Structure 1
Amino acid sequence: MGKSKSTTTTKKWIRKIHLYLGLATGLVVLIVSLTGCLWVFQEEINELTSGVPQVEPQNAEKIDPLEAKNMAQTVFPGKHVHGTLYEGGANPIQVIFYEEEPEEFYSSVFLNPWDGEVLHIENHLTGFFHFILDGHMHLWLPPVIGSEIVAWSTVIFFLMIISGIILWWPKNKKVRGQRTWFRWNPGTKWKRKNYDLHQIVGFYASFIAVFFILTGLIMTFDAFSAGFYKAIGGEKGIEFSVPLNNSGALTTKEGEEPIRELMPMLQERFPDAKDYEIHYPYDENYSIYVEVSNSDGIYYDSDYRFYDQNNLAEVPSESIYGVYEEAGFSETVLRMNYDIHVGAIGGIPGKVLAFFISLFCASLPVTGFLLWYGRTFKTKKSQVKVEKKERVMAYQQ
């Protein structure tokens, strides 16, 4: 009997913690889940609705990365060029501008690959999906405030998932079976349906939602990311870093920079690559960083390669971001993090799963709130009825 009473008391406290944490973070979980749900297919939707024109492929040499940079900077003079993306086929070259300070700036200039004509200009800080991402990451608040609220609410939601499973799990196998599927009939009241939705949907969603929560925490907390990486056997640095040139500072004259010959070399060495994103060196001492994409729709198997500015000799990476084929188990798992978070790791089926799990997670704060509100309101209403009945009886006496 003592053990049973102790178990009941423990569950009572877990239920209270689950309730109060849910009331405190419910709105945040709802927003983050719904925006995550909408973000899942942003690449596919952007591809269908893109205003970027296609070009007629030519059998001629494309403009080199420095030419592309200089031509694009006539559109945004003085702005920092983050990198230039060569996709091939009928796609124009995309020169990407990005600055965090003094004010965030994120735009792209699309150029004709053969003559450098400006074909399209796109501001990445506007539009539907930027709005969705801002809500997902910052709740449309200033990032310094919103990101912290989202981060700690995610931690709390993880605790709620664990406490929810504990509360769901019954001792009786017969009762457990009743909590794994809906047994509604025409006479089932909405309160019962809401209760079942919260318990059954929450139970099934929890086991997959845990992966989305953990991958979110890895992206949010550096300490958590480092701890997770070490726990699975990682030994390299997890911070992205661009190595220095092996040959020292750049010594070639203007107009003769080896970076101008980089694209033909990349296309010869990696003919099956989907695209090449070239990032310009920080200064004359740093190597050229190139991201070679090997697959459509996923990022973890991309090659992060670094080339000496003086001779285009490859410079090895000291971090987890290097050549994919050389990545060990722990490096691969950490590099997969974003693809797991958005479901891309499983292709379109994985994204569909991520969409519905996010949608189910969004429903939990709603059904949970309705459960709490129904019980609280019903209790108060019952008390009012009793008090009214007592007053009537006292008056009659």
Structure 2
Amino acid sequence: MPKKKNTRKTILKIHRILGLVTGLVVFVVSITGCLWVFKEEIESFYDDYKYVTPQEQAFLPASTIKHLAEQVVPNRTIHGVIYGQPNEAIEVVFYEAEPEVFYHSVYLNPYNGAFIKQIDNDAGFFGFVLKGHLRLWLPDAIGSRIVSYSILLFLFILISGLFLWWPRNNKNWKQRLKFDWNAKTRWKRKNFDLHTVVGFYVSTFGLIFAFTGCVMAFNWFYFIAYKATGGSNDPRFVIPESETRLVVEKDAGPKYDQLIPMLYDVYKEAKSFELHYPENDSTSVLVEVSNSKGLYYNMDYLFFDQNTLAEIETPSIYGKYKNTSFADKVIRMNYDIHIGAIGGIVGKIIAFLASLICASLPVSGILLWYGRKYKKAKVKKYNLEIA
């Protein structure tokens, strides 16, 4: 019995220390996380620039779009061009990670190439929220590490919290599962119940948030998670090389101009197609096919020889969704699970509320620690005065 009691004391001490060390980070990450959940829904209220009047004519080819976008944003790297529905503007995404992040989108009319709007995706309210969520508004090299390791520690905090929550005897089960307050219940008792009862009910979601966050934060965690679910393919994102080295006539235009019209005929239910221009003469052309609005896990990643447009298979888990294994599906669902999108609007509401409640745990935990420390200091002072 004493050994069990000592173990519990040790775990409680570790739980408190880790909670105090990571409390502020967990609070910020949780608050910014719940704000990020409804980004798409909130932005839909003021995104008129994303839409155009449909016309009875073909979209402009990808090479023409590339040329027009580079006139708007010269000397920057294009990440990809997104073709949507007949009433949607084409989005050209510019992205550079170094020396500083440059993440802009240029919207063009798909029928005549007219410039509509340029957006700095790293600015504005949600840019601010994302910076806080990923790096606490600190330089990336510092902030991202603090966030990553704090969330990893949060996993241990939640697990140790569940161990401490577990009632020592049957009489305490009722107290652990619901609030039993009356007019005489002091705020310290209420705060304790808020931390333990609420913590228990939100712990499952907290573990999911922390686990999926660690999958994105650490390569080693990502690989372990994939292998643990039985994965056997290459979990990295692999862009295969083109299989031919043909010489293309200059006036003929790039072959990839034929891809988007061809894919619209094949994937009639697709929501959008994101074409990534080949980086050099040897790489293949990547096209990401979005099959569901607001979801990423079931996208099809297609690779084509840039000279012949022959489709190339990839050893990676990021290929055609229909060819994925159970482990592939789980790891591809990671982001959609993280933000609750996997469950549609209901899943997002749950993720929002759970993340908001997770933000309360370090607050109630610190108040618990402060209350006990203050009480001990007060008792010690009282005893000294009597002596």
What TM-score range do you get, normalising by the shorter chain? over 0.9
CA distance in 1, matches of 2:146, 2:246: 44
Is 2:107 aligned against 1:113?
no
Match of 1:384 in 2: 381
Is 2:220 aligned against 1:245?
no
CA distance in 2, matches of 1:249, 1:227: 41
Equivalent residue in structure 2 for 1:153, among 150, 154, 169: 150
Pairwise CA distance, 1:385: 2.8
Match of 1:283 in 2: 280
Pairwise CA distance, 1:173: 1.7
Equivalent residue in structure 2 for 1:358, among 333, 355, 359: 355
* Contact 2:230 2:327 survives alignment (8 Å): yes
Instruction: Report 1:210-221 matches (<5 A).
Output: 210-221=207-218
CA distance in 1, matches of 2:242, 2:361: 52
Match of 2:201 in 1: 204
* Contact 1:250 1:285 survives alignment (8 Å): no
CA distance in 2, matches of 1:48, 1:379: 53
Match of 2:38 in 1: 41
How big is the alpha-carbon RMSD for the aligned residues of Structure 1 and Structure 2?
1.3
* Contact 1:252 1:310 survives alignment (8 Å): no
CA distance in 1, matches of 2:246, 2:96: 25
Deviates more, 1:373-382 or 1:301-310: 373-382
Pairwise CA distance, 1:47: 1.6
Pairwise CA distance, 1:87: 1.0
| Alpha-carbon distance change, 250 to 169 in structure 1, aligned in 2, over 3 angstroms | farther
* Contact 2:285 2:306 survives alignment (8 Å): yes
Pairwise CA distance, 1:387: 2.6
Indicate the SS of the match to 2:94.
strand
**Structure 2 unmatched ranges of 5 or more:** none
Equivalent position amino acid for 1:226 in 2: F
**Structure 1 unmatched ranges of 5 or more:** 391-397
| Alpha-carbon distance change, 275 to 21 in structure 1, aligned in 2, over 3 angstroms | same
Equivalent residue in structure 2 for 1:180, among 173, 177, 181: 177
The higher radius of gyration belongs to 1
Match of 2:96 in 1: 99
Match of 1:19 in 2: 16
Match of 2:84 in 1: 87
CA distance in 1, matches of 2:102, 2:247: 29
* Contact 1:250 1:309 survives alignment (8 Å): no
| Alpha-carbon distance change, 153 to 137 in structure 1, aligned in 2, over 3 angstroms | same
| Alpha-carbon distance change, 308 to 250 in structure 1, aligned in 2, over 3 angstroms | farther
Deviation track 1:201-227 (CA, whole Å, cap 9, x = no partner) reads 111111221111111111111011111
Q: Give the % identical residues.
A: 47
Equivalent position amino acid for 1:30 in 2: F
- Paired residues in the alignment total 387
Pairwise CA distance, 1:54: 2.3
CA distance in 1, matches of 2:110, 2:247: 27
CA distance in 2, matches of 1:247, 1:255: 17
Pairwise CA distance, 1:53: 4.9
Match of 2:372 in 1: 375
Deviation track 1:122-148 (CA, whole Å, cap 9, x = no partner) reads 111101111111111101111111111
CA distance in 2, matches of 1:210, 1:82: 33
CA distance in 1, matches of 2:195, 2:101: 41
Indicate the SS of the match to 1:292.
strand
Equivalent residue in structure 2 for 1:348, among 342, 345, 355: 345
Indicate the SS of the match to 1:364.
helix
CA distance in 1, matches of 2:272, 2:251: 27
Match of 1:28 in 2: 25
CA distance in 1, matches of 2:226, 2:58: 43
| Alpha-carbon distance change, 173 to 389 in structure 1, aligned in 2, over 3 angstroms | same
* Contact 2:26 2:359 survives alignment (8 Å): yes
Match of 1:230 in 2: 227
| Alpha-carbon distance change, 389 to 31 in structure 1, aligned in 2, over 3 angstroms | same
Deviation track 1:57-98 (CA, whole Å, cap 9, x = no partner) reads 000111011100100110111111111001113211111111
Question: What TM-score comes out, normalization by structure 1 length?
Answer: 0.95
Equivalent position amino acid for 1:167 in 2: L
